[in-house]
Amino acid sequence: MKIQNTLLLALLILVLGISCTPPKGEAQEATITSAPFGKLPDGQEVTSYTMTNVNGVSMDVITYGGIVTSLMIPDREGKLEDVVLGYDNIEGYLEQTPYFGAIIGRYGNRIADAKFTLDSVEYSLAANNGPNHLHGGEVGFDKVNWTAKPLEVDNGVALELSYVSADMEEGYPGTLTTSVIYTLTNDNDWIVSYEATTDKKTVVNLTQHAYFNFTAMKDDILSHELKINAPYFLPVDSTLIPTGELRPVEGTPFDFTESKVIGAEIDADNQQIKYGPGYDHCWVLAESTDSLNFAASLYEPTSGRLMEIYTEEPAIQFYAGNFLDGTITGKEGKVYNYRTGLCLETQHYPDSPNQSDFPSVVLNPGETYRTVTVMKFSTK
């Protein structure tokens, strides 16, 4: 069923692409170019790819972590600005990064007490976030050098990133053969298509960790307006592990079912907000019969920039940059203060390997993990 849906999606993109020729005079060719981006300590070369669509919207991606180092999108006047946090060079990413722009795997988000059991075998993972395991461990998918291959697509540009994670890497069973395709369409959509196969039963939950700021980092993210298509969120304990409850958002600061300014209740007197501190929770998306479910929209009123997210995943983590504290100086010397960027990470629920009531994240040999998320950029 999933395969059919993905094929349908590909067909839809193709058809839309053919019918959406940009206005005469403005069109340029969609291109993908590459340049060296430095070296890893072991001498591996990191390459940066610049993907540009016919509207001049562009995205820079490095092979290290599959990190999106720049995303240039227009404001309502057509001015292109970079709306993602990151560094100018590889040294920045190697020294310290809160997962800026990276592919996260094998498991996006937390696994309680850094362990899980599959078929009566207990697997121990790195406890790299208090007592818990976060974002795949010490050397997760955000810290490996992916193999990149530009792909020919009709309606834009695409880059395939591949990585084979060895059996027991970071404590996870099974050789995981992974591919993530970033497509930048001529309709200003960024499509992320994930695929993975394994040779042993394992768990997998991949996501993308871009930090967005539609003021182009001139301000924090508190005046952005957010809508999340979710009737429930997952309350957490003090270490940010879900308690197992699906709590209705209604009447709480977690209600984003109607578009709401992020700053409105981010510091509310609420136990869950205190744990964040602020928003750092997973929302359970409303069920839908569409294969690509509307998950969230993010709007910034001064620039007019709007992003709408559609996904095949059942949930989305909204992290409001609560751990950014001004100690990181990013691109062009900009200091990333408290809540300078936010992440909207489509995914399965945190700690699913330990919570049997949550949708399964188990991948068996012979199956293909396949999931698509689309971020549509426009202005209003």
If one asks whether residue 323 binds ligand BGC (CB under 6 A), the answer comes out as yes
H or E segment to which residue 203 belongs: strand 202-203
Nearer to ligand BGC, 240 or 298 (CB): 240
Q: Which stretch binds ligand BGC (CB under 6 A): 153-161, 191-199, 315-323, 370-378?
A: 315-323
Least CB distance to ligand BGC at residue 155 (A): 30
Q: Which is nearer to ligand BGC, 60 or 142 (CB)?
A: 142
Q: How far is the CB of 151 from ligand BGC (least distance, A)?
A: 28
CA distances from 223 to 163, 190, 228 (A): 38, 24, 16
Alpha carbon distance 206, 103 (integer Å): 7
- With CB atoms as reference, the residue minimizing the distance to ligand BGC is 98
Please list every residue from 187 through 246 that binds ligand BGC, using CB under 6 A. Answer: 240
Give the pair of three-digit tokens for residue 319. Answer: 């992290």
DSSP 3-state assignment of 192?
strand
| CA distance linking residue 327 with residue 325, whole number of Å | 6
**C-beta atoms surrounding 300 within 10 Å:** 22
Of residues 46 and 324, the one with the C-beta less far from ligand BGC: 324
The distance of closest approach from Cβ of residue 76 to ligand BGC in the complex, given in angstroms and rounded to an integer, is 29
- Per CB under 6 A, the segment of 56-64, 152-160, 173-181, 317-325 that binds ligand BGC is 317-325
Kindly state the smallest distance separating residue 136's Cβ from ligand BGC, in Å: 11
In the complex with ligand BGC, the residue whose CB is nearer, 74 or 136, is: 136
Q: Is 91 a catalytic site residue?
A: no
| 98 touches ligand BGC by CB under 6 A | yes
Footprint of ligand BGC on 119-148 (CB under 6 A): none
Q: Does 313 bind ligand BGC (CB under 6 A)?
A: no
> How distant, in Å, are the alpha carbons of 241, 308, 348 from that of 131?
10, 35, 21
Q: Beta 293-300 vs 280-284: how paired, if at all?
A: unpaired
Question: How far, CA to CA in Å, does 140 sit from each of 29, 125, 128, 326?
Answer: 35, 11, 11, 25
> What is the nearest approach in angstroms of ligand BGC to the Cβ of residue 134?
7
Kind of pairing between the strands at 176-185 and 315-319: unpaired
Q: Among residues 135, 209, 281, 348, which one is catalytic?
A: 209
Q: Which stretch binds ligand BGC (CB under 6 A): 20-28, 81-89, 175-183, 316-324?
A: 316-324
Is residue 345 annotated as part of the catalytic site, yes or no? yes
What's the closest the beta carbon of residue 178 comes to ligand BGC, in angstroms? 19
Site for ligand BGC in 240-269 (CB under 6 A): 240
Identity of the amino acid at 1: M
If the CB atoms of residues 54 and 112 are measured against ligand BGC, the closer one turns out to be 112
Site map 267..286 versus ligand BGC, x via CB under 6 A = -------------x------
Q: In angstroms, rounded to a whole number, what is the distance separating the alpha carbons of residues 69 and 245?
A: 36
Interface residues for ligand BGC in 342-361 (CB under 6 A)? 343, 345
Dihedral through CA 275, CA 276, CA 277, CA 280, nearest 10?
-170
Answer for which of 123, 163, 212, 319 binds ligand BGC (CB under 6 A) is 319
Sort 124 into a burial class: Cβ within 10 Å, 0-12 / 13-18 / 19+: exposed
Please state, as a whole number, how many other Cβ atoms lie within 10 Å of the Cβ of residue 207: 28
Distance (Å, rounded) from C-alpha 163 to C-alpha 370? 15
Measured from the CB atom, the residue of 249 and 343 that comes closer to ligand BGC is 343
Tokens representing residue 306 in the block: 């709007």
Kindly tell me which residue out of 63, 317, 352, 371 binds ligand BGC, with binding defined by CB under 6 A: 317
Selected from 37, 64, 99, 212, the binder of ligand BGC by CB under 6 A is 99
Provide the 10 A C-beta neighbour count for residue 366. Answer: 8
Encode burial over 52-78: b for 16+ CB neighbours within 10 A, e otherwise: bbbbebbbbbbbbbbbbbbbbbbbeee
Residue numbers at the binding site for ligand BGC (CB under 6 A)? 98-99, 240, 280, 317, 319, 323, 343, 345
Active site residues: 209, 345
